[in-house]
Amino acid sequence: MKNIILIGFMGVGKGSVAREVTKHSKYIAIDTDDIIESMTNKKIKEIFSDEGESHFRKLEKDISFWLENSVKSTLISTGGGFYKVENLKEIGIVVLLDSPFEAIIKRIKEHPNAERKLKKRPLLQDLKKAKELYEQRRPEYLKLADIVIDVTNKSAKDCSKELLKKVKKHA
Ligand code: S3P
C-alpha cells in the first residue's frame, strides 16, 4: 500500500476525510500539523507568532524527508501550505481535496467550533488575503495532484469512499 498524501486549502476538510478513510480501510492517519505541534510542544499559532512562518515551513520540510524515508502505507493529511515541499510526489499518491473559496469559508463558519477553527489558523485571519492565497495556490495544487476530489456539499463519508475508489484505480 502506497502512502496517500492529502493536500488542499485550509478548512477544506482534510482531517474529516482522513478520519473517515481510516474507518473504511486499513490506512492509519497522521497529520503534519499534529506532528509539528507534538515535536515542538507548541500550537501552530504560537510557532507563527514566536518564530515566524519561515520557521514553520522549515519544520514542514524536515518532516517531508522523514515521511519519504520512514513512513509506509499511511494516510498523511497535511497543512494547506505543505504541498510546497520539494519531495511531495515522492511521499505518496497526492490527493487534492478541492472546493471553491466561498464554499470552504461557509463550511468553516457553519461548524459548531467555527470560532476556534478560524482562530487557530494564522493565515485565515484576513479573509481578503486568504482569498488571494487561495487563488495563487489552487493552480499549484491542481498541477501536483494525482487525484482530485471535489468535496463541495459532500459528506466526509462520501468523499472518503470516492477517494478509496480512485486510489484503487490509480494504483
Ligand atoms: C497553513 C495551513 C494550516 C497550518 C498552518 C499554515 C497554510 O493547516 O499548517 O496554519 O499555509 O495553508 P490546515 O490546512 O489544516 O488549516
Question: Rounded to whole angstroms, how far apart are CA atoms 68 and 91?
Answer: 5
- Supply φ then ψ for residue 68, to 5 degrees: -60, -40
Atom number of ligand 1 nearest to Cα 121: 10
- pTM of the complete model: 0.97
Nearest residue by C-alpha to atom 16 in ligand 1: 10
Spatial neighbors of 170 by CB under 8 A, at least 6 apart, are: 93, 146, 147
57 lines ligand 1 (CB under 6 A): no
137 lines ligand 1 (CB under 6 A): no
Q: What is the DSSP-derived secondary structure letter of residue 11?
A: T
8 lines ligand 1 (CB under 6 A): no
The predicted model gives 49-67 an average pLDDT of: 98
Q: How far is the CA of 14 from the centre of ligand 1 (A)?
A: 11
13 lines ligand 1 (CB under 6 A): no
The predicted model gives 121-131 an average pLDDT of: 96
List of E strands, 14-63: 28-31
Its sign, for the CA torsion 91, 138, 126, 124, is: negative
10 lines ligand 1 (CB under 6 A): yes
- Determine which of 64-73, 86-95, 117-126 has the lowest per-residue pLDDT on average: 117-126
Q: What is the DSSP-derived secondary structure letter of residue 120?
A: T
**What is the side-by-side order of every strand in the sheet holding 4-7?**
28-31, 74-77, 4-7, 93-98, 147-150
- List the one residue out of 103, 101, 96, 108 whose CA is nearest residue 153: 103
Grid cell digits, residue 153: 456539499
Grid cell digits, residue 73: 502505507
Q: How far is the CA of 45 from the centre of ligand 1 (A)?
A: 10
Domain residue ranges of the chain, discontinuous segments joined by +: 4-163
According to CATH, what is the number of the domain 4-163?
Answer: 3.40.50.300
pLDDT at 171 over 80: no
Q: How far is the CA of 79 from the centre of ligand 1 (A)?
A: 4
What are the pLDDT digits (tens) for 70-93?
999 999 999 999 999 999 999 999
